[in-house]
Amino acid sequence: MRKNHPLASVIVQNYNGREVLEKCLFSLGKVLYPNFEVIVFDAASSDGSVEMIKKEYKKVKLIESHDRVGFAEGNNIAYEHTKGKYIVLLNGDTEVEPDWLSELINFAEKTPQAAVFSSKVLFFDNKKIINSAGGICDMYGFSPLRGTFDKDIGQYDDPVPVFYAHGAAMLIRREVIEKIGFLDEDYFIYHEEFDFCWRAWLAGFEVYFVPQAVVYHKLSQRNFYAPEKRAKRQFLVKKNRISTLIKNHISIPVLLLSLSVNIFISMGEIFYYSFKGDFETPKGTIQAYFWNIKNFKNDWQKRKKIQKLVKVKESYILKRMKIYPVAFDILWGLLTKKYTLPL
């Protein structure tokens, strides 16, 4: 069994999400793949999640934190307790199809040049609507999920390379983590999977979307993280995007161009939301830039380490990015109410 079915370690994070977590674990109990372990990292929940796991899911490996740590740090801690050839990150507010893990691992075993594999993620409340078919990005760091809000009519049913995998349900080779490191704990949440996948591309690996591996995401029921104010969300998104650019762009001129475009777009956002009477969103944006200035030295030290991993040319990476700023598409999405928050 071990030879034909390598061990997979499924990491599920939880914070006060007992109701959705219980259903997630129940769906994992129906998974057909015969060789996997489940590790739940609980970030100081107070809703009875821990007690539920201990009582109902005794085979689950439970890691309890006394501190409210972020998605990146939680996964890093849980990773140290895994044994699998493959590491799977799965949100606690998901439910999976029984063949989900088999499809991911079967594809991974046949695609040795790839490091990361993204599931097809559909909205739980409307299983015909796509949450994610992998992720795309432009050279300026804007990285929307591919196919979000599209009706699933088979247009994303081919396995193809994507720039990054959606962190809600992604599979990673352990050997790649050992080579390039795992998630950046300074991110807390947002863009950590984008940053990791970019690093994998730099090291000469590929990232693939596996459409047969289906997961349902309960975004409307989500209690995985406490409700965020707009300022906090903007702060986390913006600071992490800028850090990702600083660390991963190979060429200094390309890095400077991407930062300049970000500043230009952020200025436009500040004026736009201030004009609408929303001062929380601009507040978060301004805080993010101050954070990046304060922590520039730390990001530059990380950059030096990452650049030592590079096995490809900048042109190879840029071919997998959009040159046209995706931010303009996102702005149009905001104006047409396709998106409810700036990305």
**CATH number of the 8-221 domain:** 3.90.550.10
**Structure token pair of residue 92:** 């606690």
Q: Is 63 exposed, middle or buried (0-12, 13-18, 19+ CB in 10 A)?
A: middle
Domain positions in the chain: 8-221, 230-335
Give, for all 343 residues of the chain, the pLDDT tens digit. Answer: 456 899 999 999 999 999 999 999 999 999 999 999 999 999 989 999 999 999 999 999 999 998 889 999 999 999 999 999 999 999 999 999 999 999 999 999 999 999 999 999 999 999 999 999 999 999 999 998 999 889 999 999 999 999 999 999 999 999 999 999 999 999 999 999 999 999 999 999 999 999 999 999 997 544 333 345 788 889 999 999 999 999 999 999 999 999 999 999 999 889 988 998 988 889 999 999 999 999 999 999 999 999 999 999 999 999 999 988 887 776 676 677 665 444 4
Token pair 């301004």 is found at 286
300-338 pLDDT per residue, tens: 999 999 999 999 999 999 999 998 888 777 667 667 766
Q: Is this structure's pTM higher than 0.75?
A: yes
Task: Give the contacts of 120 (CB within 8 A, at least 6 positions apart).
Answer: 130, 132, 133, 152, 156, 209, 210, 211, 212, 213, 214, 215
166-199 pLDDT per residue, tens: 999 999 999 999 999 999 999 999 999 999 999 9
**Which pLDDT belongs to residue 231?**
87
- β-strand partners of 274: none
Amino acid making up residue 258: S
Minimal CA–CA distance to 171: which of 241, 247, 111, 248?
111
